[in-house]
Chains A and B, each alone.
Chain A
Amino acid sequence: MTLILLPILLGIPALGALILGFLPARTGAAWMNVAFSAATLAVAGVFVSGPLPPPTLFVLVDDLNRLMIALIAFVGFTTSLFSVGYLQREIDSGHLKGFPARLYHPLFQIFVGMMLLAVVSNNLGVLWVAMEGGTLATVFLVASAQTDQAIRAAWKYLMLCSVGIALALLGTTLIYFAAQPVLGEGLNAMAWSGLQEVAADLNPALMGMAFVFLLVGYGTKIGLVPLHAWLPDAHGEGPAPVSAMLSGLFLGVGLVALLRIKTLMGPLVSPLIPGPAMMALGLVSLAFSGFMLYRRRYYKFGLAYSSIEHMGIATFALGLGGPLAAFAGLLHLLAHGLIKASLFSIGGVVVQIKGVQDMKALRDLTTTHPMVGWALVAGFLALMGLPPFGLFLSELLLLVAVVTVQPWLAVVLALGILVATGALLLFLQRMAFGKEPGLPGLDAGAAIELPAVGKPVEWSKASLCVFLMIPVGLNLAAAVALGLGLLGPVGDWLVRAAKVVGS
């Protein structure tokens, strides 16, 4: 029964892309985009709550996938709702016109479809294809403003991610090469479930080499330092809903792909141990982005660096392994996806109503635009890892897990989180309540050119409620539910998934 739903789940975005491709980019298309995303969410809800089907050569649905399917469908839906209001204003103000405006909705659906395909795929080759498909769809979206900066950002994104993905493909080939003597030729030697059964018999040296390539390849997608160079530009220049989905979904799916490979390496004694490699990259990302945050002038670039920080934390947790750390890492991944999607949406509205991205000019929003301002406060508190939001629980659990393994690592981790939180607090203080110009530290010369922004755009109270408050409210409510442990079945999936990937 459940497997019958899968073609529908993947078919809705495909059909959506096809139909929306032939519609003009006015509100009609935007609402149809919402309808398709809602249908995806509904089918995904039924799909993930059903019993788990046994893995086939191409399809694998386990607890880890359930979590990701739920996240993708949910964030896809909330972001599509936000897109309606945001895109209308971008088109009205002339930021988005012509061909890119038409392409927006089909590419939105393609991206969601590709992410779903990536997480349900049991075949490492199909996983690779889906990741690259998702990248290609978003490259156009990032470039859609057609300014010099946007095209440069898209170019950088395309080139860096292409190099990364080429290396990931080589890694995938090496895994097949290692599996072939054990599993024989054919699809089974590329299926993750098949590989996992024989993981102990694979050639350790070959798998170690494969892991290096896959770590670099998928690490580029995750945005781990030093492979992150594309990330701030792509997030900063793309339309706000695209940044929301890139940050909330794309990075996480990349991490899940890497996690799958790491799990295969578990029983092997290879020259390269995957856990510490991931932990090291995670910590470097955390430290680097924490300090870089203080030098950011532009709102969305700041959020992008915060994404690097949080992906660093999640990568560290999943690299550490063990059920508790893996639980914390997966929880962090989910909560970050929800919260960051909200903050990019809020940020998109802020930039539209103010007409600037420069945080020097964005201040005292709680007075000038109370609704947006307080949403921003809520979002930032969530991002800083305060209770009752999900990131609080995940960071707390992670620290507990680290203390039991390596106490000094806990100190490093806590310091890294504190540094980043300090920067976010500065942003929040300034943007939400700040009156006087020129807080120290934030004005230090950022070398990025001024992103193209235009005249302020009006958002009426009613449209703010529908297009901003509802999606952001839904996302943040889900993040609170994660933080309070009000998880329902999601909690069981998390625990079981953590057992699989944490072993």
Chain B
Amino acid sequence: MIFALPLEPATLADIAQALSVGVMLCGFWMLLQRRLVNVVRTYAAQAFLLALAAAWQAYVQDERQLLTTAVIILVAKALIVPAVLNRIIVKLDLRRSVATSVGFGRGLVGAMGLVGFSMLLVFPVTTTSGALTRETLAMALSVVFLGFWMIITRNRAISQVIALMALENGVLLAVVGVKGMPLVVEMITAVLVLLTFMVFGIFFFHIRTRFDSLDVRNLERVHIIPWLRSS
């Protein structure tokens, strides 16, 4: 331990679990938001909780490298990404709209089903593994599924970007939660951050080159999953 807190091992695990549940709940909350600005806020909260979870794992597993990961997540995902997203929203005047292809009610039922599904998937197959990572893994899988669900049910490119980043948060939750995944974690985090900036790079590139023709919404009409396009 870097420094010892007067806590039982069970409590340490409980706190880790609480943080991962928080990340999952943010994924749910994101699906409930009707305004894009609030989706971004919820995303920022999720990334912040993820950074906390990574820092907590660094303490529990006594892996100082994970602290680096936590800092990268905090700066890139919880601070810079929401700021950039907000700028895009203001520039494209997208503040009000969260266009969905599935109604909110049905969307929520589907999301709950996915969380249940991921628990049913993880719990039976991980009986031999330590309890600490098992719950985290179930939560992480839920976040991934929720992100996937959001990508499918949202029409706008910007919503899909946020959903993709939320999905990545889920994967990162699994990566930091599995004990002792060595060294590679930093590389993975770095690549994911690089990916994030590429996404924004293309977005801004597009906005800049098409600014005169006021054709900035072209990107909005890209359906990445063609057979799921709505109207």
Contacts and interface: CB of A to CB of B under 8 A. Distances in A.
Q: Do A and B originate from a single complex? A: yes
A155 interface: yes
A69 to B, nearest CB: 22
Given A125-B188, A155-B222, A169 B175 contact: yes
B6 to A, nearest CB: 26
Interface string A127-141: 011001100100110
B164 A151 contact: no
A125 B128 CA distance: 24
Interface in A122-177: 123, 125-126, 128-129, 132-133, 136, 139-140, 143, 146, 148, 151-152, 154-156, 158-160, 162-163, 166-167, 169-170, 173-174, 176-177
B187 interface: yes
A170 B182 contact: no
B58 to A, nearest CB: 15
A185 B182 contact: yes
Interface string A173-192: 11011001100011100100
Contacts of B133: 177
B179 A180 contact: yes
Interface in B106-152: 121, 124-126, 128-129, 133, 137, 140-141, 144, 148, 151
B202 A154 contact: yes
B15 interface: no
Q: Is the interface of A mostly helix, strand, loop or mixed?
A: helix
A415 interface: no
Contacts, number: 122
Contacts of A209: 121, 125
A162 B195 contact: yes
9 contacts: A128-B188, A132-B191, A139-B202, A163-B148, A170-B141, A173-B174, A173-B178, A174-B174, A205-B124
Nearest to A207: B125
B224 A160 contact: yes
Contacts of A425: none
Contact of A136 (B137, B171, B195): B195
A170 B174 contact: yes
Given A181-B128, A187-B182, A129 B191 contact: yes
A152 B187 contact: no
Given A146-B209, A229-B225, A205 B182 contact: no
A132 B181 contact: no
Interface of B: 121, 124-126, 128-129, 133, 137, 140-141, 144, 148, 151, 157, 160-161, 164, 167-168, 170-171, 174-175, 178-184, 187-188, 191, 194-195, 198-199, 202, 205-206, 209-210, 215, 218-219, 222, 224-227
Interface residues of A, number: 44
Contact of B144 (A151, A166, A187): A166
A206 interface: yes
Given A158-B198, A173-B178, A176-B178, 7 more contacts: A133-B191, A140-B198, A166-B144, A167-B144, A169-B188, A177-B137, A186-B182
B126 to A, nearest CB: 7
A218 to B, nearest CB: 15
Contacts of B187: 125-126, 129
Contacts of B219: 151-152, 155
A148 B182 contact: no
B35 to A, nearest CB: 23
B104 to A, nearest CB: 23
A110 to B, nearest CB: 12
Nearest to A227: B225
Interface in A369-405: none
Contacts of B222: 152, 155-156
Among A125, A162, A173: residue with most chain B CB under 10 A: A173
